[in-house]
Amino acid sequence: MSTTTTAPRKTRELPPLMTLTDAAAKRLRQLYDAGEQGKLLRIGVSTKGCSGLSYDMSWTDAPAPTDEIVRDKDLTVLVDRKASLFLIGTVMDYETKSLASGFTFVNPNEKGRCGCGESFHV
């Protein structure tokens, strides 16, 4: 009688769900310290736009049971669990341009964006 043993599989470390750039952290601190004091930013993904998915941000008073809690640069951001698979490894940034400013996302899971940049697909 022979037995076969298999060595335990090495699991590779997953990238963080989401990270913040210094610019995004600075802007979030400004928002948290001003009118959104005591609230948390929740990031999700909704069905919208020509490419199918769009980033959705909203303020909430407390985490929901379906939220993943992301802590980076001494800040807390919530990610809707339904959006987690779409956002793994995403970097949230804040850009100021001559005609617009706002949060942007560098998402390694994106396979493409629509022409206006409002939606994406994975």
| Predicted local confidence at residue 71, as pLDDT | 92
- Provide the β-strand partners of residue 75: 72
Which residues, in sequence order, are CB contacts of 18 under 8 Å at separation 6+?
Answer: 43, 70, 72, 77, 79, 87, 90, 91, 92
- What are the structural domain ranges in the chain? 18-110
Buried b (16+ CB within 10 A) or exposed e, 77-100: bbbbeebbebbbebbbbbeeeeee
CATH homologous superfamily for 18-110? HesB-like domain (2.60.300.12)
| Predicted local confidence at residue 6, as pLDDT | 67
Residues 98-119: tens digit of each pLDDT: 888 888 888 887 766 655 556 5
Residues 17-68: tens digit of each pLDDT: 899 999 999 999 999 888 777 899 999 988 765 657 788 899 999 999 999 9
Q: pTM for the full model?
A: 0.77
